[in-house]
Amino acid sequence: MRQPDIARQTEKSAEEPYLSVHDLVVKFPSEDGVVNAVEGVSFSVARGKTLAVVGESGSGKSVTALAIMGLINRKSATVKGEVWLDGQELVDSNDNQVRKLRGSKMAMIFQDPMSSLHPFYRVGAQLGEAARVHRKISKAAARAEAIEMLSRVGIPAPKRRVDDYPHQLSGGMRQRVMIAMALINSPALLIADEPTTALDVTVQAQILDLIAKLQSEFNTAVILITHDLGIVADVADDVAVMYAGRVVESAPTSKLYGNPEMPYTLGLLSSIPRMDRERTDRLDPIPGNPPSPLRHPSGCVFHPRCKYKEMVPNNACAEVRPDLLEAEPAHFVRCHLPVETRKKIASEALNVSGGGATLGGTVSAAAAAAAAAASVQ
Amino acid sequence: MAAYIVRRVLLALMLLAVLSVAVFVLFNMLPGDPARLTCGKACTPDLIAANRHRLGYDQPVLTQYTNFVSGIFVGRVFSADSPKPIQCNAPCLGYSFNQHEQVMTLITRAAPVTFWLAIGAFILWIFIGVTVGIFAALRRGRWQDRIIMGVSLAGYSLPSFFFGLLLVFFVIIKWKWLPFPSYVSPFVDPVKFLQTMILPWIVLAILYAAFYMRLTRNQVLEVLNDDYVRTARAKGLPERTVVVKHALRAGLTPIVTAAGLDLAGLLGGAIISEDIFSLPGLGALSVDSITNSDLPLITGITLLTAALIIFANLVVDLLYAVVDPRVRLA
């Protein structure tokens, strides 16, 4: 039986996905054994759309992104599967072909803008360099483009700032510079790996707005990697939830928030503080810790932490690896529980206060609460 | 930037002044009477008293110090009231009553030897240490890296006199590939100069190169994992540009510091190498001055070495500010 393939599904629809990832596997040999960072990830993104990849630390989100970009050192790691970018397969392409796509067709911004810019070179030089690797333009033209991009990402006085060194800019400014650098060649795919994690809450919103604005300008496909479900609800079209190197659930954002089916997704959503719940309720964390990538559990990788595994007969959760199956159109779930049971569990868990919160209410309340919680810290 | 330079230079000058006091006081506090050392077996109480007066050791310490300092700037005259006064022109670092020559003359005679020794070894060790270190970093964990690191550990652990003596024994005495070392200026006889210097260069360079290989390798490895190197790759830069322009630029700056200070230290004299290869440099001169309790000479060499290191520190700091824009703010 072949595992259903999200990418193929989306291909049938009107939009041709710009990026599709099939069965991506990344393994790092280490002294303690093989680290199975990514084990069979599949998803796709179309131009102009945003896919959020959500998961805990160590779930394989960043490694997936680096593998797409060809930034995994193939000498010290194994990468298998297929990555199709605009009709070209990248995993089997040679390093130089992939390098030429990096920064031109696909670009990436990183978590920590404080350390992601070179401390010794002026901002303008770093931006210009990004343009000149891929296009034959003069230094003066590259500088003019750098100034133009700085102004587009909302940096005041770009003509002056272009000659600044990174240490002269604030964190938010530096992330803007990183975004400018990523977009200077108008790539059709932008991967943002936790772009706001290192920033203040107020700046986070600005950066996300900026990415959304530029996305509509450039018609870019965006992969937003994050662990912040509050962010996802606001900006993503689709969500893929990752756990232990796999996609465990993926769906359009509204569907995932309104009707999560995988107990892990449910756990993530229940652990967000919500405005429409009694304040006396304690947050409901997922018990236990994510598994070590050195030894993933047998059966369903989530079963040691799953409250509902007893509901599946024959101890299947501990013994049989579930496939990512299409529960409803465009909604894929990796879980042994019968669909009806999953729906029942989810509606009970999300409506404890009996308020029957609508999707919009839940989502924005969750986002607001998350932001409020973060700003207190 | 200008303010930074001025501040650093002033600081260096102050440090030098403090240091000269310290050295002067330290050597004048030493037990033993310098005047007693001037005449050896021929000493009589009258002669000692006369020499003490001639050399100014009968003056209070403070006066001695001011005489010493003013000697550096305007020169001074020893035994001015005797029939044979000794004129010591600026910069006068004193008069060696042991060698009957001015300290400055002795130092200027020995300094070129040490200079050539240090510069030759420096070029050799920087070239070998840095290139091999980078190579090892780029081949991390593979057999090339392991061999290089093993060899460098051996090179670093072997005492330089052991390796130097081995070379002298085999290359010069047993196989007779090179004549016995005897220093000549490169401007007089370049071939003989090279024949003399090549072994000491190798001995010194091996010791330092071993250390610089490890230093460079670690630096480069650390920098290759830095976020901005990943950014450079994400831009699509060719690997060569990533390594040379982004990684090495940042990774090699700390090596500038180490190299500057090591070179300065070596310019003050390489005692063991100079001794093994009978090079009449500052190292050999220091050893002589100490065995002879030649106080003025010891003071002169100590001050000169200290000044060199302070100067090197200054140069390194200024270079660092040129290389790393973040330093200019500090």
- Smallest CA-to-CA distance from B129 within B238, B321, B263 is with B263
Binning pLDDT at 50, 70 and 90, where does residue A354 land?
very low
* CA A344 from centroid of its chain's CA atoms: 28
Binning pLDDT at 50, 70 and 90, where does residue A14 land?
very low
Query: Which of A129-133, B118-122, B292-296 is the least confident region?
Result: B292-296
Average pLDDT over residues A227-247: 90
Higher-confidence residue of A5 and B2: namely B2
B235 in A contact zone (CB under 8 Å): yes
pLDDT computed for residue A13 by the predictor: 42
Q: What is the pLDDT of residues A21-65, one digit of tens each?
A: 999 999 999 888 999 999 999 999 999 999 999 988 889 999 999
B1 in A contact zone (CB under 8 Å): no
Q: What is the pLDDT of residues B14-42, one digit of tens each?
A: 999 999 899 888 877 777 777 777 777 77
Residues A120, B324: C-beta atoms closer than 8 Å: yes
Average pLDDT over residues B158-187: 88
Q: What is the pLDDT of residues B254-284, one digit of tens each?
A: 898 899 989 998 998 888 889 889 899 999 9
CA distance A46 to chain B (A): 21
**Contact (Cβ atoms closer than 8 angstroms) between residue B250 and residue B227:** no
Rounded to whole angstroms, how far apart are CA atoms A104 and A98? 10
- Using CB atoms, which residue from A112, A120, A133 is nearest to B235? A133
B142 in A contact zone (CB under 8 Å): no
What is the percent of chain B with per-residue pLDDT over 90, rounded to a whole number?
A: 43
Higher-confidence residue of A363 and B287: namely B287
Residues A103, B235: C-beta atoms closer than 8 Å: yes
- Using CB atoms, which residue from B226, B236, B325 is nearest to A102? B236
Task: Inform me whether the pLDDT recorded for B299 exceeds 60.
Answer: yes
Task: Inform me whether the pLDDT recorded for A364 exceeds 60.
Answer: no
Residues A116, B228: C-beta atoms closer than 8 Å: yes
C-alpha dist (Å) from residue B297 to B23, B78, B221, B272, B286: 12, 15, 46, 19, 8
pLDDT computed for residue B294 by the predictor: 86
B238 in A contact zone (CB under 8 Å): yes
Q: Nearest chain A residue to B326 by CA: give it.
A: A167
* Widest pairwise Cα distance in chain B: 85
Number of H helices, E strands in chain B: 14, 4
B139 in A contact zone (CB under 8 Å): no
- Residue-averaged pLDDT of chain A: 86
Tell which CATH classification among 1.10.3720.10, 3.40.50.300, 3.40.50.1000, 3.30.470.20 matches the domain B104-329: 1.10.3720.10
Residues A165, B325: C-beta atoms closer than 8 Å: yes
B228 in A contact zone (CB under 8 Å): yes
Residues A116, B230: C-beta atoms closer than 8 Å: yes
Q: Tell me the ipTM for this assembly.
A: 0.83
| CB atoms closer than 10 angstroms to residue A324 | 23
pLDDT computed for residue A278 by the predictor: 62
- Chain B partners within 8 Å of A129 (Cβ): 235, 237
CA distance A94 to chain B (A): 13
- Residue-averaged pLDDT of chain B: 89
Q: Nearest chain A residue to B139 by CA: give it.
A: A75
- Chain B partners within 8 Å of A103 (Cβ): 234-237
- Chain B partners within 8 Å of A223 (Cβ): none
pLDDT computed for residue B180 by the predictor: 86
pLDDT computed for residue A287 by the predictor: 84
Higher-confidence residue of B57 and B191: namely B191
Report the DSSP beta bridge partners of residue A242. A247
Task: Inform me whether the pLDDT recorded for A203 exceeds 80.
Answer: yes
- Smallest CA-to-CA distance from A250 within A259, A239, A242 is with A239
Average pLDDT over residues B282-293: 90
Rounded to whole angstroms, how far apart are CA atoms A221 and A224? 10
CA distance B319 to chain A (A): 13
Query: Which of A28-32, B82-86, B228-232 is the least confident region?
Result: B82-86
Q: Nearest chain B residue to A190 by CA: give it.
A: B234
pLDDT computed for residue A372 by the predictor: 45
Rounded to whole angstroms, how far apart are CA atoms B144 and B138? 10
- Sorted by where each begins, the domain ranges of chain A are 120-181
pLDDT computed for residue A280 by the predictor: 60
- Using CB atoms, which residue from B231, B236, B323 is nearest to A99? B236
pLDDT computed for residue A136 by the predictor: 95
Binning pLDDT at 50, 70 and 90, where does residue A362 land?
very low
- Chain B partners within 8 Å of A117 (Cβ): 228, 231
Binning pLDDT at 50, 70 and 90, where does residue B144 land?
very high
pLDDT computed for residue A352 by the predictor: 55
**Contact (Cβ atoms closer than 8 angstroms) between residue B136 and residue B217:** yes
Higher-confidence residue of A271 and B196: namely B196
Average pLDDT over residues B284-291: 90
Q: What are phi and psi of A260, to 5 degrees?
A: -70, 140
Beta-carbon contacts below 8 Å between A and B: 70
pLDDT computed for residue A117 by the predictor: 95
- Using CB atoms, which residue from A115, A129, A130 is nearest to B226? A115
Residues A110, B232: C-beta atoms closer than 8 Å: no
Residue A285: burial class (beta carbons within 10 Å; 0-12, 13-18, 19+): exposed
Task: Inform me whether the pLDDT recorded for B164 exceeds 60.
Answer: yes
pLDDT computed for residue A129 by the predictor: 96
pLDDT computed for residue A138 by the predictor: 96
Higher-confidence residue of B218 and A269: namely B218
CA distance A108 to chain B (A): 7
- Using CB atoms, which residue from B231, B236, B323 is nearest to A117? B231
**Contact (Cβ atoms closer than 8 angstroms) between residue B294 and residue B288:** yes
Residues A102, B235: C-beta atoms closer than 8 Å: yes
Binning pLDDT at 50, 70 and 90, where does residue B200 land?
very high
Higher-confidence residue of A141 and B98: namely A141
Higher-confidence residue of B36 and A337: namely A337
- Sorted by where each begins, the domain ranges of chain B are 104-329
- Smallest CA-to-CA distance from B302 within B94, B39, B35, B61 is with B94
Higher-confidence residue of B123 and A345: namely B123
B240 in A contact zone (CB under 8 Å): no
Average pLDDT over residues B287-316: 89
Task: Inform me whether the pLDDT recorded for B221 exceeds 80.
Answer: yes
Task: Inform me whether the pLDDT recorded for A11 exceeds 70.
Answer: no
Task: Inform me whether the pLDDT recorded for A371 exceeds 90.
Answer: no
- Chain A partners within 8 Å of B226 (Cβ): 115
CA distance A221 to chain B (A): 17
B329 in A contact zone (CB under 8 Å): yes
Average pLDDT over residues B293-297: 86
Task: Inform me whether the pLDDT recorded for A78 exceeds 60.
Answer: yes
B230 in A contact zone (CB under 8 Å): yes
Binning pLDDT at 50, 70 and 90, where does residue B326 land?
confident
C-alpha dist (Å) from residue A309 to A287, A317, A341, A342: 14, 6, 12, 11
CA distance B228 to chain A (A): 4
Q: What is the pLDDT of residues A249-260, one digit of tens each?
A: 999 999 998 889
Segment of A137-146, A283-292, B52-61 carrying the highest mean pLDDT: A137-146
Binning pLDDT at 50, 70 and 90, where does residue B330 land?
low
- Chain A partners within 8 Å of B238 (Cβ): 99, 133
**Contact (Cβ atoms closer than 8 angstroms) between residue A131 and residue A145:** yes
A153: its two tokens:
């990402």
Which of B138, B235, B253, B320 to mutate against chain A (most A CBs within 10 Å)?
Answer: B235
Task: Inform me whether the pLDDT recorded for B292 exceeds 70.
Answer: yes
What is the percent of chain A with per-residue pLDDT over 70, rounded to a whole number?
A: 86
- Chain B partners within 8 Å of A115 (Cβ): 226-228
CA distance B69 to chain A (A): 43
- Chain B partners within 8 Å of A131 (Cβ): none
Rounded to whole angstroms, how far apart are CA atoms A95 and A75? 12
Q: Nearest chain B residue to A166 by CA: give it.
A: B326
Q: Which residue spans within A61-200 are E strands per DSSP?
A: 78-85, 88-89, 106-109, 189-193
Average pLDDT over residues A334-352: 85
